[in-house]
Chains A and B, each alone.
Chain A
Amino acid sequence: MAKYVARRIIESVPVVVGVSILVFMLLHLIPGDPATTILGERATTQSIAELRARLGLDRPLYEQYFIWVGKMLQGDLGNTVRGNIPVADEIATRFPATVELSLAALLLSTAVGVPLGVISAIKRNSLIDTLTMFGALFGVSIPVFVLGLLLIFLFGVELGWLPFVGRLSSDISIQRRTGLHLVDALLSGNMKGFKDALEHLVLPTITLATVSLAITARITRSAMLEVLNQDYIRTARAKGLKARNIVMSHAFRNALLPIVTIIGLSLGRLLSGAVLTETIFSWPGVGKWLFDSIIARDYPIVQSMTLIIALVFIVVNLAVDMLYAVIDPRIRY
């Protein structure tokens, strides 16, 4: 196992290097650069050239790449082009926001999606199944911004039950330890902060979880259906085992592989940032930041974040592969 993990880690090095080169090249190939966005309407050929020189963008591309890599290897992610703010500081502030929202959404989509899928499979073609699958279709189909705004107007404005701007109310503060507000509030015993953070998390979590939940439910249902039609299930039934035991011990466990795969992919996708959900709920995470940075051609941010996202996917995929071995003892690495 350790050997396998080591091999996977070594294998990921060319992936990371490849991603870094690809992103670097793509960023510099598209027209426009930070100088044009900083200058805006006042951009002239001369002012752009001067600013490019000041920002070091007039150097050969390979030189810029190696300067960046050199700094990166020393743990320096550089500073933002606009505002000269250390990228590492910004990531440290924003990434926990994305992690908290992603984990909450993953928890919700798994905790609801998997049981729904299992029930649908068991009660195939029943009313519950039809309703669940209709709901899943609806969840996949409804645009995120429509759902988000509907939730805001219903629960935020009309009923006034839940906040919908950012992670905390203006008058609440939580002592920072991990950057995850719920965890930090619990660690410092700040129940008022915990409640406020939890309330702020509800609507964006529902919005973000909807698509994953629908996909998880559908995948779980089809995986379960496939297993439930196997001979050994029929044998188990013939032996007179309890239905609950058959479903949980025999069917569900064997249906887990595709479910874990899809959950792992969801987590990677969620962690790389949810631009629309973050925009609608003013969530200070990495998704919208990365999007804005691409528009502004803020190279250090885009380069660092894409690398981090690549790493997230590598780690999540590795974790999923490890889980396979736990779920199915026949899989050995």
Chain B
Amino acid sequence: MRKWFVLVIVLALLVPLAPASVTAQGNTFTFGEFGNAVALDPAIVTDGISFRVTVQGCEPLLQFADETTIPRPGLAESWTASDDGLVWTFKLREGIMFHDGTPFNADAVVYNFERWRFTDHPTHFPEVVFEYYSSMWNGFDDDSIITNVEATSEYEVTFTLSEPNGGMLNTLAMPMFAISSPAAIEAAGAAYGTPSVGYSCTGPYKFVEWISDDHITLTRNEDYWDEISGNVDTIIYRVIPNAAARFAALQAGEIDAFEQPNVEDLPAIESGDNTYVLMRPPLNVFYLAFSYRIKELRDPLVREAISLAINRQEIVDAFYPPGAVVATTMIPPSLWGYNPDVPAVPYDPDLAMELLAEAGYPDGFSEVTLLGVDENNNVTDEEVGTIPFTLYFMPVQRPYNPDGLGIGEAMASYLAAIGLDVTLDQVGDWSAYLAARSNGELTGLYQLGWTGDNGDPDNFLGYFYLNQPVPQEGYYQNEEVSQLLRQARSMTEQSEREPVYQQVDQIMHDEVARLYIAHSGVPLAFSNRVSGYIPNPLATEHFKYVSVG
């Protein structure tokens, strides 16, 4: 007993003798992330946290200029397209090396695209999911609209498409189409992008270390081909899942910046002596969708009544961070293709009640009629049964929806005021909610939203309404909308495409196809020692512009 006591005393005396922590070499920028990265192979990433890491080190052929959604030269310094929009030739920059010391050239580009496209490619591992390739280029193998990628010289690559693709350049600038070192992929095999390997690309910061759920460290690439205007030598992402703890860590100086503070903490961060807030421009939309299997909701008068009954401005004021705006269309105002002539829907419960009465529901309703669906997803006249009128609310926070339940309750009370008695339902957790949505099982009103991937309007409208009718879009059907979107996708000139997207949003507004509620920015909090951070609508800021100290 006495021996133990002595040992404890000796240890206790020794500990304070140890020197205080040493500081890392050079300028370190520590960013507080709300979760662990999933993977660092950019081609298989689908989550924002992982992308915020990979964009520091991995570059696509094109980049988005100065944190906008306008594509500009990246690893490709120039390009030309054939008149029919089917053949694209890219001239690559010369003299660039991957982090592993191997050269970047046309063969490397071809290797990456073939790896993503061909399911029998030796490094297209079956257990790895190249989800974005499939969704942006219409599938793998022969389904892909990129039918050939060829090295036409050491620094020239030619792409052949099966059909014109209006969003081609924007899509090529997406972070998931960053070019990795073929040698690094071959060497690591399926472990490429995992914590033990990380990434090997061409960008300004190299991978150093990833301890799961703790931190990821990157270091400056001294051989980077372009300018690094900031002064950061080391980037550390620290995982801090709790928003209040992230704020505390910023106050205590443990981190220099973080994203997604609690909305209620924003005033304290803004008024803090050593802290400030920046907002990511909104590139998202939160909406309330109708299931067109509900007989009552197929009546435009009922849809308009519901639209007039919901006070969008009050919802934005009560639930969203500063900078959020009421949505009038699917496309947010920051994106080209936005239609400024579509008016905001007024909050007018009296008119809503008149419309309901005109539609034959003077006392409102609490139950609705479910219609059948045929094998082609067409809604039929067959009445399957009567079900409670349900409003499905999202069980998770998303950048476009800060509080599914709170907003759902607010919406229910607005609807109750005009005699519509809705049942609130969250289905289960997020996975269950998404499954129910994709199967068309959210039969009523349902919340959902979208965050833009590539700054192209097709990514907002085409993605949702081109193929019709489908269960995941509530069996919405309007042939004119589908035709227009198909037409816009096949055009290559922005000036031709823009009016088409504006027309689609106008049509959908006129028929009250869906209720757009809000476009929300995402707040970012900083210590005063940070400068040069440019918030990016795609949520993938480049830290090469950042300085600390």
Contact = CB atoms under 8 A, between A and B. Distances in A.
A33 B436 CA distance: 11
Contacts of B46: 38-40
B437 A82 contact: no
Contacts of A106: none
A169 interface: yes
Nearest to A42: B135
A296 B44 CA distance: 16
Contacts of B239: 166, 282, 284
6 contacts: A83-B44, A83-B194, A90-B212, A164-B252, A164-B254, A295-B431
Interface of B: 14-19, 21-24, 28, 30, 35-39, 44, 46-47, 125-129, 131, 134-135, 190, 193-196, 211-215, 217, 236, 238-242, 244-245, 248-249, 251-252, 254-255, 427-439, 448-451, 463, 470-472
B541 to A, nearest CB: 20
B431 A36 contact: yes
A171 to B, nearest CB: 5
A152 B246 CA distance: 11
B38 to A, nearest CB: 4
A279 B432 contact: no
Interface residues of A, number: 64
A47 B434 CA distance: 12
Contacts of B195: 85, 89, 93
Given A157-B248, A163-B254, A166-B214, A297 B22 contact: no
A289 B211 CA distance: 13
A233 B21 CA distance: 54
Leading 10 A-B pairs by shortest Cβ distance = A32-B431, A284-B213, A83-B39, A31-B432, A191-B18, A284-B214, A32-B432, A36-B434, A83-B38, A32-B435
A185 to B, nearest CB: 10
A140 to B, nearest CB: 22
Contacts of A39: 46, 131, 434
Interface in A234-280: 279-280
B248 A156 contact: yes
Nearest to A80: B38
A172 interface: yes
Given A284-B211, A297-B431, A171 B24 contact: yes
Given A32-B429, A164-B252, A166-B214, A45 B238 contact: no
B212 A44 contact: no
Contacts of A112: none
Given A32-B429, A191-B18, A85 B194 contact: yes
A157 B245 contact: no
Given A36-B434, A36-B435, A192-B18, A84 B127 contact: yes
Contacts of B37: 83
